[in-house]
Amino acid sequence: MELYQHFRKEEHPFIDQVLEWKEMVSRQYAPKLTDFLDPREQQIVQSIAGGAEDVRAFFFGGAPFVERKRVFLAPPYIDPEEEDYGIVLFAVRYPAKFVSLEHRDVLGALMSLGLRRGKFGDILIRDGEIQFFVAAEVADYVRLHVETIGKAPVALEPLPLSAAMPLAETWEEGTVTVSSLRLDAVLAQAFRLAREKARALVESGLVKVNWKVVDKPDFLCGPGDVLSARGFGRCKLFSVEGMTKKERWRIRLGRQK
């Protein structure tokens, strides 16, 4: 099928899923609500269903500025309301004076519940305040079972979606040198890993570039690329500033706070 030629092999199962959703909506004249999708998955949905005459795709993640969104696929005569997306916003109440929690602590606690990542939207952290979006169908379960994050006791308080904290992307930036612009080299420098460890992460399919899995260590990175490694977080290659006298690349990297 010509459609598959435009996507990586590991994306084909998701493409099949989107085609199934599209066919179901078209055949049954009934809407379909997806889990939270990352930007790459949203791009795939848009490319497959976005231009269809009999199915329309709407995207919402709880607030205008979020990255992860649920998709509402619907026949042409249906326009979704905010509540149709089934999204709940929780604030995390914890002793912030005594404990510092990071994005990975919150995500780790949520994933330990045994739910799919797709049931959770963006995690918002600013000045010690923490909020996160969750699919309404699992919100009660999450609220009941999340009692600690890290070593801190927590309570989850539902908030209206309008109370979501707007966030600007925050990065710890710095200029470093790398032997090459290969993915494994940039990754090793960004997360302070041995080159062999970075290469193993890439080859294991645990690394994404611009939300797309890349399993080739020799993939060449460029300015603007967003890299993520499962368990290590996210970094961004802001600029390539040239070569040093020792023939190493000088780059400006940012690591997401």
Q: Report the C-alpha gap between 118 and 131 in whole angstroms.
A: 17
Instruction: Give pTM, 2 decimals.
Output: 0.77
pLDDT on residue 217: 96
Question: Nearest Cα to 224, choosing from 179, 169, 177?
Answer: 169
pLDDT on residue 168: 66
Q: Report the C-alpha gap between 22 and 53 in whole angstroms.
A: 11
Domains and CATH numbers, the chain: 2-82 (3.30.1370.160), 87-163 (3.30.70.330), 171-256 (3.10.290.10)
Q: Report the C-alpha gap between 63 and 89 in whole angstroms.
A: 10
* Burial class of residue 128 in the structure, from the number of CB atoms within 10 Å of its CB (0-12 exposed, 13-18 middle, 19+ buried): exposed
Per-residue pLDDT of the chain (257 residues; tens, 9 = 90+): 577 777 777 788 999 999 999 999 999 999 999 999 988 899 899 988 877 788 999 999 999 989 999 999 999 989 999 999 999 999 999 998 899 998 889 999 999 999 999 999 999 998 899 999 999 999 999 999 999 999 899 999 999 999 999 876 678 899 999 999 999 999 999 999 999 999 999 999 999 998 888 999 999 998 888 999 988 888 999 999 999 998 999 999 988 87
* Burial class of residue 235 in the structure, from the number of CB atoms within 10 Å of its CB (0-12 exposed, 13-18 middle, 19+ buried): buried
pLDDT on residue 58: 95
pLDDT on residue 11: 84
CA distances, 222 to each of 9, 181, 251 (Å)? 23, 8, 10
pLDDT on residue 169: 67
